[in-house]
Amino acid sequence: MGAQDEGAVQAIGSRRVPPDPSIAEAVGRHHSLATAIADLVDNSIDAGAGHVHIRFLSHSGVVDGLRVIDDGRGMDDAAIDRAMTFGGRRDYDEDDLGNFGLGLKAASLSQADALDVYSIEAGGSLAVGRRILAEDPTTVAELDPENVAAALEEGPAHIPGTDREHGTVVEWRSVRTFLSSSDEDDRAAWLADTVERIRTHLGLVLHRIIARGDVAITIDEFDLDARRPGVTRSVEPIDPLGYRSVGRRPGTLLRGRIDGEGFDLDAHVWPALQKGSPAFRLFGIHGGQYQGFFVYRNDRLLQTGGWNGVAHRNQDLDYARIALDIDRLPPKRVTINPEKSGVEFDADFREAVEASIASDGTGFRDFLEFAEGASRISRKRHRRPVILSGVTRGLSPALRNDLEDIVTSPEQGPIEIRWRTMRDGALVRVDLERRTLWLNSTYREYLGASTGEADDAPFVKMLLLLVYSKYFEGEMLGVREKDELRAWEELLHGALDEELERRSYGEETNDGR
């Protein structure tokens, strides 16, 4: 017994007390749908997956479930029990993305009332499955192995384009955070926006890992009634420091030390002329909202901007971004939140950041002053003399951002560009009441559009916007405007007819060879 234990009341035994079922309400409460899915993808990557597929499950036109499917190592009985136990914690390797041992349960039950996990090991013959419910997450139900094996063989459990023999499927049932609207258009718009937000989030937080080719991530919707998947969308890397650097001052490498360990701050000022890039305007929001530190652990992005008490957010720092890898730092200096969506610096580390210096002798505060000066200069130079309607639907987030940055929107507000069947044969229609530029879906394929994509045919849509935007600047269409619209319709139809004739002639010529 050590001297510090003298006088202490001695223990005579111990017992393991299981967590109360209400623990589900205390963990994961700060997860969004995107961060929760990202936590599951982290687990798949740690399991050695080369492909992770996120699948929304729909029934009778309503999305009511989700699966995350991977081709990783899979799990046996012991491993899946550890994975499904609240308070259980596996041993993590130094390069694993997992950290707390709560990710699977906390992420899933923050979104859904029921969590099923099916898995089969590489080289194994027995499938295993478990289920926990949000109402009592401390009780783990064992699923029938034969039923699990059958579920793994069904179409909804397949990764498009692969023939996997091992891996894991995580399924959410009774998802509370999905849209429950009875309006079909609302549901379609929600799903399109949700898929885009998840693609952006995963492309951002895993951009280094995806860019290296370590993992491919895809997303689709599976119609359980028709038993077939929809269009597959890939997750592409989004580097928050990925600006074009030709002819620009490179980033400043600031170096600091704490507790005998060195750390680097890769500090950059984003070029103002590239502020329309999706890599700057993250999630469609002005990039100035994401100024500050981009913190990584094992190449997984944990924090997307923020100054962590080292500096104060202000407009003049809108273009300042600093990458920080914390792999070698003592955990007490930088604390990761359970959702892996932010970190905290302790007081000593904040001082170490302030004291960091570059090879030329300039320091952290010098970099901030440079960033502030660059921002003030860019605001003086920026002009937007062209008036053009903004677009809320029908163009990609990148093009919508370009419109916002390059042109001035009229007071009447943005419009939508959408497809629908027009039985009178019209190619384009201006709908002032709904503030929508309608395109005839009969000609969708001929205009180079991909069926099912809300932001398809971007070149054609942008050209039509340049022509038709001005008609949305008034409350009604006058005689002159109607005459112009009829003229544009005739000209466009003539051009389309000629295009179709040329295609038909080309096909006949090729057939005759």
Residue extent(s) of CATH 3.30.565.10 domains in the chain = 23-234
Q: What's residue 216's pLDDT?
A: 97
| Residue 71 · residue 49 · CB < 8 Å | yes
Beta strands in 369-421 (DSSP E): 391-393, 415-420
Give the type of residue at 463: L
Bridge partners (DSSP) of residue 116 are: 131, 171
pTM above 0.85, yes or no: no
Residue with tokens 């063989």: 153
Tokens standing for residue 477: 């269409």
Helix-then-strand count for the chain, H and E: 12, 20
Angle between helices 33-46 and 184-205 (to 10 degrees): 50
Helix (H, G, I), strand (E, B) or coil at 219: strand
| Whether domain 23-234 has CATH 3.30.565.10 | yes
Position 480, amino acid: R
Q: Are strands 415-420 and 436-440 parallel, antiparallel or unpaired?
A: parallel
Q: How far apart are CA 323 and CA 208, in angstroms?
A: 12
The DSSP call for residue 411 is: T
Place of tokens 């990557």: 45
In 10 A of CB 53, how many CB atoms? 27
Give the Cα-Cα-Cα angle 46, 47, 48 (nearest 5 degrees). 90
User: How is residue 344 annotated by DSSP?
Assistant: E
- Whole-number Å distance between alpha carbons of 138 and 212: 38
Residue 180 CB neighbour total at 10 angstroms? 12
pLDDT in tens, the chain (513 residues): 444 455 567 555 555 556 655 555 555 567 899 999 999 999 999 999 999 999 999 998 899 999 999 999 999 999 999 888 875 555 555 666 655 446 788 899 999 999 999 999 987 678 999 999 988 888 899 999 999 999 998 888 888 877 878 999 999 999 999 988 888 888 888 999 899 999 999 999 999 999 999 999 999 999 999 999 999 999 999 999 999 875 555 689 999 999 999 999 999 999 888 888 889 989 878 888 899 999 999 999 999 999 999 999 888 899 999 999 999 999 999 999 888 888 999 999 999 999 999 999 999 999 999 999 988 887 666 556 788 888 888 888 778 877 877 788 888 889 999 998 888 889 999 999 999 999 998 888 888 776 567 788 899 999 999 999 999 998 899 999 999 999 999 999 899 888 888 877 665 555 554
